[in-house]
Chains A and B, each alone.
Chain A
Amino acid sequence: NAGVTQTPKFQVLKTGQSMTLQCAQDMNHEYMSWYRQDPGMGLRLIHYSVGAGITDQGEVPNGYNVSRSTTEDFPLRLLSAAPSQTSVYFCASSGAPGTGVRAEAFFGQGTRLTVV
C-alpha cells in the first residue's frame, strides 16, 4: 500500500517557468490538500479538495492552481514560478467522516522546490 505519493522529490525552476507537482493516493480518500512548509512558519494550506471536481482555496493560494478530475490525483500547478515559491510542498489525504476510514490526514514525503 503506497499511501500518498508525490513526484518529483526535488525540482529546480527558473523564475517564470511553470510546472506541476504530482500527488496520488491509493486509499480512496475523498479529501486531499496541498501545504507548503517554510522555515519557522510550519505548514500552511494552499488548496484543498473534498471530492472530484470540488476544490477550494486555503490560506496561501496565490500563484497556484489545482484541479481534481479523479479521486486518486490532485496536481498542484505553478503558473509562473517566483523565488517566493521556494519551499517544501506536502500533499495530504484523508477520508470523509462516517466512511469508516482512519480519522487522520496522511502525508506524502514532500517535494523540495527551488526557484532561482
Chain B
Amino acid sequence: AQSVTQLDSQVPVFEEAPVELRCNYSSSVSVYLFWYVQYPNQGLQLLLKYLSGSTLVKGINGFEAEFNKSQTSFHLRKPSVHISDTAEYFCAVSEGTGFQKLVFGTGTRLLVSP
C-alpha cells in the first residue's frame, strides 16, 4: 500500500521568507501527486498536481513543487510567503488514475508571522 510522509508537523516562518514543505511517498509504480491547502474550517483546495511530464510543477498562489523520482519526494516551495499563506498543507498520492483513492500525509501547518 502507498504511504505519504510529511516530515514536519509545523513550520514557522516570517513573512516574505522562503519556505519548503517536505513530502516523501512510497511507491514502485507510476504515481500521481498532489498538494492541497486547507484554511481554518474550510475544505481542501488543490494547490498543484503532478501527473506526468515536467518534474517542476507550478500551482496557484505562487507555489511550486518538484517531483523527484529517485528520492521519491514531492517537496512544496514558495520563494516569499504572505501572512495569508497560514494554513495546513497536505501532500497526497493517488493509487489510480481516477483519484478516488487518495492517500494523504498527516499534514504540515504553515505559520507565517510578521
Task: Spell out A's residues near B (CB within 8 Å).
Answer: 30-33, 35, 40-45, 48-50, 58, 90, 92, 94-97, 103-105, 107-110
Question: Contact string, B34-62, partner A, CB cutoff 8 A, digits 1/0?
Answer: 10100000111110010100000000000
Which one of A31, A41, A103 has the greatest number of beta carbons of chain B within 10 Å?
A103
* Cβ–Cβ < 8 Å partners of A103 in chain B: 32, 49, 51, 97, 99
Q: A42-B106, A58-B101, A92-B102 are in contact. List 12 more A-B contacts (CB 8 A).
A: A40-B9, A42-B90, A42-B104, A42-B105, A43-B92, A45-B101, A50-B100, A90-B43, A96-B98, A105-B46, A105-B99, A108-B43
Q: Smallest CB–CB gap between B22 and chain A, Å?
A: 15
Q: Give the CA-CA distance A94 to B42 in the complex, in Å.
A: 19
Question: Contact string, B1-38, partner A, CB cutoff 8 A, digits 1/0?
Answer: 00010100100000000000000000000001010100
Contact B98 A31, beta carbon cutoff 8 Å: yes
Contact B46 A104, beta carbon cutoff 8 Å: yes
Contact A48 B101, beta carbon cutoff 8 Å: yes
* Cβ–Cβ < 8 Å partners of A44 in chain B: 104
Task: Spell out B's residues near A (CB within 8 Å).
Answer: 4, 6, 9, 32, 34, 36, 42-46, 49, 51, 90, 92, 97-107
Q: Give the CA-CA distance A88 to B51 in the complex, in Å.
A: 28
Q: Give the CA-CA distance A107 to B44 in the complex, in Å.
A: 6
Contact B99 A109, beta carbon cutoff 8 Å: no
What residue in chain A is nearest B96 (Cβ atoms)? Answer: A97
